[in-house]
Structure 1
Amino acid sequence: MDYSNRSNIPNQNSVIAGRRINIPFRCDCLNNEFLGHVFPYQVNTSDTYSLVASNYSDLTTVDMLRRFNRYPDNNIPNDVNVSVVVNCSCGDSAVSEDYGLFVTYPLRQEDNLTYVASTSNVSEGVIRRYNPGLDAKFSAGRGIIYIPGRVNSQCNKGCDLALASFYVWRGLNLTFISQMFSTTIPEIVSYSNKDNIPNQDSVIAGTRINIPFRCDCLDEVKVLGHKFPYKVKLGDTYGLIASNYSDLTNAEWLMKFNRYPETGIPNDVSLDVVVNCSCGDRAVSEYYGLFITYPVRAEDNLTSVALAANVSEDVIRRYNPGVDSKLDIGNGIIYIPGRGTSVSSLLITFSRPHLWDYTGYVVVAVV
């Protein structure tokens, strides 16, 4: 469950049909020939290699099953174990050194490149570069592609300061906002555009203010973020709480970090509201160390965001694979960098694991 979309797994006894879940596994070098992992499968009556491949949602193929097993396709003994090989990737430094975690993704008829890129939060161009012959596979609606993720997707430490770009909705004041984020009004004012805060008792609705917070490495999921305590009010749902935080978090993230069901959150309990953050990526640039967690809205576009943040569009793209898809739909989180030298505490030391040290991941289409 740690690697899958929580909404696809209501509880540990059920999973929603027609959805995909992520299965973690080790990516090995098999026979010094190619990357993959061997899973043991106990044969059932009437099993064929084709049926076994289908049971694994086409993460393997009949040809691969024949290659790694000695039984003929039409006469596999009952109750024996066969080897099911799933291919994987650990990256390609000739393409990019920025990615080290890969998803083995079996295509289905309904898939297209735009959809896969959007749901995977990477650009179409990056997926193309890692998958020669991609268009033919999409046209056929079958075959395996590899979807990359950043090598620093699992953190080992955080940083002292990050900022959250909070969109001020009507009726809010700084006292309420400071309580939501466990900070002080002077701290918020010091990192925000003073034009949006006429005085410390008011803030202009429809503008953004910056909330300073510590960016931690969260042990439960090994990603960068910070937990803010939130006291539940009557009628609150995870969706409503995410909206209260101006979409700096989402319902899925709230469900992951709290034990209450969406439809039965007790009144007056405290929840953990997790806001993700960034401490930078040395593979992109060493010049930036302060990052703003920026929830995209429908009116945003790359040019307006870059101008407002005083950074180039290219820099934002490099730190945010899949940024175009998020801006197109007006939803999602992007990270906007600022110079690390602007505050003395922002000089960050990075550590970067070797590309080949990562565990592989697969995506299974649950049917």
Structure 2
Amino acid sequence: MNNNTSNTKSHILQLGLWLLFFIIKTVSKCSNGCDLAFASYYVTPGSNLTYISNIFSQSIPLILKYNPQITRGDTIESGTRINVPFSCLCLNGDFLGHTFKYQTQVGDTYRKIARQVFANLTNEYWVQRVNVIEPALIPDFAFINVTVNCTCGNRHVSKDYGLFVTYPLRFGEDLWSLSTESDVPTILLERFNPETNFSAGSGLVFVPAKGKTTFQLT
């Protein structure tokens, strides 16, 4: 083998390794998560702390720790929201989220699980994406994955916020009402959520939480 052929193969190998490294760096969209994030759970009639504790696998005392407004034991007023703590992880190097294990009930569909059980903290597409069961073949009382997206902040927007709430917008809510409720300036909400249409009344928004990074999971 002459030197030219050897050099050519060496260059091809180096190019291949560089391309592989570039692909890995491009596909990997996150590297680290954070110990604590919140899910803003919209309470519907019939829901209570025991039910919410079960679907999120979080203890009632831990949930109460971050919801001092709850003063009546297991009862929660419907039409309100509570913050459910969870860890925000880098899943498969692709996105930030947390996968919960949910036991299906009679009549469950991916759409129902996303909209009703998890109160729009995820959607039908995401639930189906992280499960191998066909939508028409979901068995009763089987454990499936339910992934909720989250964020740990964006230092390019602000270094002052490291604790965030995954907040499903509801009909009638918009940028201004969310700013008033969360006490976060509209400009910050827009910068942390650059692709969000706040006037749509649906979809997920990441809202900086009060207390920043002072909370820790126990």
Same fold (TM > 0.5): yes
**1:254 and 2:127 aligned:** yes
Taking the aligned partners of 1:215 and 1:342, their CA distance within structure 2 comes to 13
Corresponding letter in the other structure for 1:337 = P
Alignment of 1:171-182 (within 5 A): 171-182=46-57
Structure 1 segments, 4+ long, off by >6 Å, are none
1:186-237: CA deviation from partner (whole Å, max 9, x where unpaired) = 211221250xx23222000000000000001111x61000011100111110
**1:336 and 2:211 aligned:** no
1:81-120: CA deviation from partner (whole Å, max 9, x where unpaired) = xxxxxxxxxxxxxxxxxxxx8xxxxxxxxxxxxxxxxxxx
Question: How many aligned residue pairs are there?
Answer: 191
**TM-score, normalising length from structure 1?**
0.50
For 1:286, which of 123, 136, 159 is the aligned residue? 159
CA contact (8 A) 2:175 2:199 kept: no
Compute the RMSD of aligned alpha carbons.
Answer: 2.0
Going from structure 1 to structure 2, the CA distance change for 1:229 and 1:344 (only over 3 Å counts) comes to closer
Going from structure 1 to structure 2, the CA distance change for 1:212 and 1:176 (only over 3 Å counts) comes to same
Deviation for aligned residue 1:295: 0.4
Deviation for aligned residue 1:165: 0.2
**TM-score, normalising length from structure 2?**
0.82
Identical-pair percentage:
42
Going from structure 1 to structure 2, the CA distance change for 1:322 and 1:230 (only over 3 Å counts) comes to same
CA contact (8 A) 2:36 2:215 kept: no
For 1:230, which of 95, 102, 120 is the aligned residue? 102
Taking the aligned partners of 1:335 and 1:153, their CA distance within structure 2 comes to 21
**Residue in 1 that maps onto 2:4:** none
Taking the aligned partners of 1:260 and 1:248, their CA distance within structure 2 comes to 21
Taking the aligned partners of 2:89 and 2:132, their CA distance within structure 1 comes to 21
1:304-351: CA deviation from partner (whole Å, max 9, x where unpaired) = 11111111111100000133x2x32211101001366551659xxxxx
**Residue in 1 that maps onto 2:87:** 214
Corresponding letter in the other structure for 2:208 = P
CA contact (8 A) 2:88 2:98 kept: yes
CA contact (8 A) 1:168 1:209 kept: yes
Q: Which has the larger radius of gyration?
A: 1
Taking the aligned partners of 1:193 and 1:303, their CA distance within structure 2 comes to 25
Corresponding letter in the other structure for 1:177 = I
Going from structure 1 to structure 2, the CA distance change for 1:153 and 1:321 (only over 3 Å counts) comes to farther
Structure 1 residue runs without a partner (length 5+): 1-100, 102-151, 347-367
Taking the aligned partners of 1:209 and 1:341, their CA distance within structure 2 comes to 17
For 2:29, which of 125, 129, 154 is the aligned residue? 154
